[in-house]
Structure 1
């Protein structure tokens, strides 16, 4: 199959996930065929950092981000923050992530989440790196916390908020990561945001292996499926796929500076 002429960046894909161990090389080939030229790979816990570093070292199209994800708050230890600072200094990833707050899962300790989120925001500011932010049922607090810390830039991935919440993020200079959920017709609020938002604040993502689009529901997601997201975003905005692909990839390069 001839490779696509599109220039796409998957700004969020957990391709270090063990679900890709059996066919990771084929996954990279499918991504290239679909026009995905770069893939940002965010970490979720301390254990994932070395795994991501190894994958990215052997695949230059894969770009590492290191952080401590709120869903895995029970795994995180205070010393991991000091170790993260060392990682940011010595390995110089493209971002600090995935970090944030998750108030959807009520069993997660919210105070510990807040502590780790704030400390990682401060590290991102100290090392002048963008952040990749998870905000589930916590958008307003995430936004107010980032505003309070100040001096930050980044992306709220898998954005699912209102137009007003999006505007507050744009006012802070943040991008929105848009993936599989936009491909579902029922996602009318999200589709309105995507159709009307400033193009220079838009990033495309898959969140692989999670959040497959409508054409792949129930399947493992992967970066090649970014084409489905691109198709829907282009339709919603009344623009060409090539122009959306080029603009969102340029946005990613500007933010992550690979």
Structure 2
């Protein structure tokens, strides 16, 4: 069994003390590739250096909505400006990034949606121009995101990270060329809507993700999540769909390879 973690913040400082050991346990468990999203300008180059030393790790670059107005001073200079698009496009091309993101909209944070949209639209334009897929963060803003996606030509589509919407919304994204990221949320029995959705949508629309160090599995709340937990998510998805673990592994790996051109 071979798995790809399509969304793992493996560059974050929390993995610094034991990153090599965690990765060894991942490979022992059959996880042999990671997609590591970018979240802010100041992080991009450090992430690029990290993946340079490990061909099984693949970087993306983007401005996460949580970082639009905090933590990264660079965004204050580039927000809403064409300069952000230039800097992002240049980094993506020079560092062979596999996607634009993590980017999107989050209506549950203090940063106004108007400010988030200015940054998100620039990233949509870059993804369209460079024909790269998007890694989307969408929280309480699906209608706004879907409306924007319809305004841009995005030949490579993307993935809705940590999708937790309805089956109807899932199919709307899928018809637009967006896969659905399946993570530890499905291990919680209370996540009935999400569990029902991933059990019913086409297997061809799903990819696996840990979102480590966040999104811990049920029973592991308060602990650092790890990409080595991906087989547990795959097993839960197999159980929900009443298919074999191997079938889930094969399909989600193929889907991830297609999306990110691995």
With the shorter chain as reference, the TM-score category is over 0.9
Shift of 1:37: 1.2
Q: Which runs of 5+ in 1 are unaligned?
A: 1-5
In 2, the alpha carbon distance for the partners of 1:57 and 1:215 equals: 35
Q: CA–CA distance in 1 between the matches of 2:147 and 2:153?
A: 10
Q: What is residue 20 of structure 2 aligned with on the other side? A: 25
Alpha-carbon distance between aligned partners in 2 of 1:147 and 1:220, rounded to the nearest angstrom:
37
Cα offset, 1:42, TM superposition: 0.1
Counterpart in the other structure of 2:173? 169
Please report the TM-score for the alignment, with normalisation by the length of structure 2: 0.94
Return the offset for 1:167.
1.3
| Counterpart mapping for 1:81-160 below 5 A | 81-105=85-109, 107-152=110-155, 153-160=157-164
Who is 1:80 aligned against? Answer: 84
| Distance in 1 between residues matched to 2:220 and 2:34, nearest whole Å | 20
- Give CA-to-partner distance per residue, 1:3-41, whole Å, 9 cap, x none: xxx110100000010000100101111111121111000
- The match for 2:44 among 49, 52, 55 is 49
Indicate yes or no: 2:11 matched with 1:16. Answer: yes
Query: Partners in 2 of 1:12 and 1:90 — Cα distance?
Result: 21
* Cα distance between partner residues in 1 of 2:26 and 2:46: 20
Aligned-pair CA distance for 1:52: 1.1
Q: Let me know the Cα RMSD of the aligned residues.
A: 1.0
Question: Given the alignment, which residue of 225, 230, 239 partners 1:235?
Answer: 239
Secondary structure of the structure 2 residue equivalent to 1:80: helix
Which residue matches 2:230?
226
Within the candidate set 192, 197, 200, 1:193 is matched to 197
User: What secondary structure, in the 3-state scheme, does the structure 2 residue paired with 1:60 have?
Assistant: coil
TM-score, with structure 1 as normaliser: 0.95
Alignment partner, residue 35 of structure 2: 40
Runs of 4+ residues deviating >4 angstroms: none
1:170-207 CA distances to partner (integer Å, 9 max, x unpaired)? 11011000101110001000001110111111000000
Q: Distance in 2 between matches of 1:94 and 1:37?
A: 16
Q: Is the 8 A contact 2:179 2:205 kept in 1?
A: yes
Check conservation: 1:95, 1:256, Cα contact below 8 A.
yes
Q: How many residues align?
A: 252
Contact 2:106/2:140 (CA < 8 Å) preserved in 1?
yes
